[in-house]
Amino acid sequence: MRAKQKILELLQKDGLAVKGLDNLFYFVSKTYNINIEEVKKDFDKLLKEGSIFEEKKGKFVSVPSKQYVKGQFIGNAKGFGFCRLDSDSDDIFIPANMTMGAIDGDNVIIKILSKTQDGSDGQVVKIYKPIELVAGIVEKKGNNYFLEPDNNHIPLKIKIIKDKTKIENFDRVVVRLVRGKILSGVVCEVLGKSDDVKACELAIIRDHQLYEVFGDDVISEVEKISQTVTPSQKKGRLDLTDKIIFTIDGEDAKDLDDAVSIEKNEQGEYILGVHIADVGEYVKYETALGQEAYRRGTSVYFPTSVLPMLPKQLSNGICSLNENVERLTLSCIMTIDKNGNVLSHKIQESVIKSKARLNYTNVYKVLIGEKADEKTEGVKEELLLMNELSQIIEQKEKESGSLDFEIGEVQFVFDNSGMAVGFEKRERNDAHRLIENFMILANKTVAKEFSDKKIPFVYRVHEAPRKEKVQNVLEYLNGLMIKTPALPEIITPQYYQELIKLVSDKPITQTVNKILLRSMQKARYTNQCLGHFGLALKYYCHFTSPIRRYPDLVIHRIIKENLHRPIRGQRLELLQNFTFEAGEQSSLTEKNAEKCEREVDDLWKAYLMRDRLGEEFEGVISSVTNFGIFVELDNTVEGLIKIEDLPDTGFLLFEKQLKLKGQRMTFAVGDKIVVKLLSANIYTRKIDFAFVNFVN
């Protein structure tokens, strides 16, 4: 890793010309006293991740540089494409004759050809990380088979190289791509028939390059891990096995990585313990298991299944804080006053034995004074004390400017065979908020300690919105005759709170919340402590879910290392590089996982809505475009009314006011209307509505 930094430093000086790679390796090795094999290994890593590029024979440059950038290729059915950069910059247009055969999803290096006020043009010069899997439907033409990709951003059919795998016309399959003069592929998985909803779900997952199976090398390492805590592992740890500690999760959760405890001291202060599975004890650096966790970056959650970041022997086994068994943890124990201020804290390696595995439903019953099950009633005193503290913390965070948009999420209902039978908005009550508040407080406390110590770390950052985005929100609100406060020089969470309050008692609250949310930047991971705008926090990280998020695992390892020995000198430099890379990788895998989860949810929504064709629903216009309006129903389904199906003509789109104006009628974001369901397509995951009338 140290060699990577030195190679990049050399190449950032307008590139480096060498006569053969051996000369470069020798130069770096001798100049910086690094083993030559390490130099070769790190150079290869830099090539694979697109951080360096051979501009011409023997001349290498770092990426990004003056001319070159890297990002993901976004294809188009007409053959051209765009490069979506890793940063927040605008996409770069790639003409059809300059794609170098890149297809949607490939990671590419782009040479910038021109820059104007309207955007940049470029050409693909290298595909450094091509996608490997494409899902679609088999089409037989004569004696040949072709794959019609499900992804309509891939504008060509893929020739199937026949092997012993039995396939038939209209099968839904996955092919492993073979890049050559023509794009071809070998069938590696037959998912089912084209109209099988579960085959469609698997196809989406494969198109995002995700799969369930772990490699033999990973499984071999996992099988050597004890499924019980050993006496040697407990040595030197804080023993909390006699404390009243329990977990609170959803009823179907299997990976329980956080537990909580509470007491009051003689001064009336709260002693809150947040105890997190010590995954770092089992998943070490430079192991097959550690590398696989880095590559996956996150667990991915679907209505019917989970693709875990770690094998089930860890995620559901020795790392899961199951009831009545000893588990290794990292505990953040905080002393908190009656105003919600953390007076002191300690972070320690510990061992716990969860006294109860509680769920949100029964915990909420206790909080509102209803009778719950025996297990939950057994810790009623602790739960009520927790709720008391949770409300204090929540009030303090609101006063600081923390934003809570209350955007509805979908929850599916399945029968015993795994088929969806219904869906609704997911409930979020005080039991959920209690755990959220405690986890956020622990995350903030841990982040502040390591930022103050100046030890390299991975932070969860959420930067302030751009002014032009906020200005668009103000114009929309002004168009609704809502008087808004002047746009400040520095946009703060408190300013957003003011905007939320303006519509808090109006029917358009949910709509405005979504518009405000869209105006904000996307949260990401980085090794710089840049604060979290949405939570109005100066310090924030993700500490509480190391079973399912790689950044949490990274900082657990750093915390553990710091507990045992000071982190100094060259180790600081190595961690600085590693935390940056881990943040970049985790941001990318998170983005891919979220997109995949969203598409699978849309599939099941379309599948369930197919039985309701012709029914009428009340909904809210969620967005307007030059080709129609999107309408969201109360159950979170969103569908399109095409512009040609609207009862008017001569439409003009007013983007900033979020309105579509016809000769007689105007459709604006936030308007309530009645729609009729016309179609629900599981192949495209699209839903079409017809306009019925406005809701008065």
Top-confidence residue, 14 or 234: 234
Top-confidence residue, 550 or 54: 550
What's the number of CA atoms in the CB half-sphere (13 Å) around residue 246?
Answer: 21
Number of domains within the chain:
6
Top-confidence residue, 512 or 355: 355
Residues 122 and 141 in one domain: no
The answer to whether the CB of 632 falls within 8 A of the CB of 586 is no
Is residue 410, in this structure, part of any structural domain at all?
yes
Residues 504 and 580 in one domain: no
Give pLDDT, residue 55: 85
pLDDT above 80 for 13: no
pLDDT above 60 for 620: yes
> Which pTM does this prediction carry?
0.91
Q: Which of 662, 666, 667, 652 shows the shortest CA–CA distance to 619?
A: 667
Give pLDDT, residue 1: 58
Residues 84 and 173 in one domain: no
Give pLDDT, residue 87: 59
pLDDT above 90 for 124: yes
How far is CA 157 from each of CA 48, 132, 184, 199, 664, rounded to the nearest angstrom? Answer: 28, 16, 9, 20, 45
Taking residues 559-581, report their average pLDDT: 92
DSSP codes of every residue in 120-145: EEEEEEEEEE---EEEEEEEEETTEE
- The mean predicted confidence, pLDDT, of the chain is 92
Q: Which of 578, 586, 569 shows the shortest CA–CA distance to 4?
A: 578
**Cα–chain center distance at 387:** 29
pLDDT above 80 for 58: no
Residues 109 and 242 in one domain: no
Residues 493 and 428 in one domain: no
Top-confidence residue, 183 or 418: 183
Residues 471 and 451 in one domain: no
Q: Which of 436, 571, 584 shows the shortest CA–CA distance to 51?
A: 584
Q: Which of 93, 114, 129 is the C-terminal boundary of a domain?
A: 129
pLDDT above 90 for 479: no
Distance CA 511, CA 482 (A): 14
Q: Each residue of 194-247: pLDDT tens digit?
A: 999 999 999 999 999 999 999 999 999 999 999 999 999 999 999 999 999 999
Domain that holds residue 165: 133-207
Name the band, by pLDDT with cuts 50, 70 and 90, for residue 168. very high
Distance CA 423, CA 411 (A): 5
Give pLDDT, residue 137: 97
Residues 6+ apart with CB under 8 A from 118: none
Is residue 607, in this structure, part of any structural domain at all?
no
Three-state DSSP string of 5-30: HHHHHHHCCCCEECCCHHHHHHHHHH
Give pLDDT, residue 282: 97
pLDDT above 70 for 18: no
The answer to whether the CB of 137 falls within 8 A of the CB of 190 is no
Residues 557 and 668 in one domain: no
Give pLDDT, residue 421: 82
Taking residues 42-62, report their average pLDDT: 87
Share of the chain above pLDDT 70, in %: 98
Is residue 527, in this structure, part of any structural domain at all?
no
Q: Each residue of 626-649: pLDDT tens digit?
A: 999 999 998 889 999 999 999 999
CATH of the domain at 201: 2.40.50
Share of the chain above pLDDT 90, in %: 76
Is residue 524, in this structure, part of any structural domain at all?
no
Give pLDDT, residue 88: 59
Residue 539 sits at φ, ψ, to 5 deg, of: -125, 130
Residues 122 and 241 in one domain: no
Is residue 535, in this structure, part of any structural domain at all?
no
Give pLDDT, residue 506: 75
Distance CA 695, CA 633 (A): 13
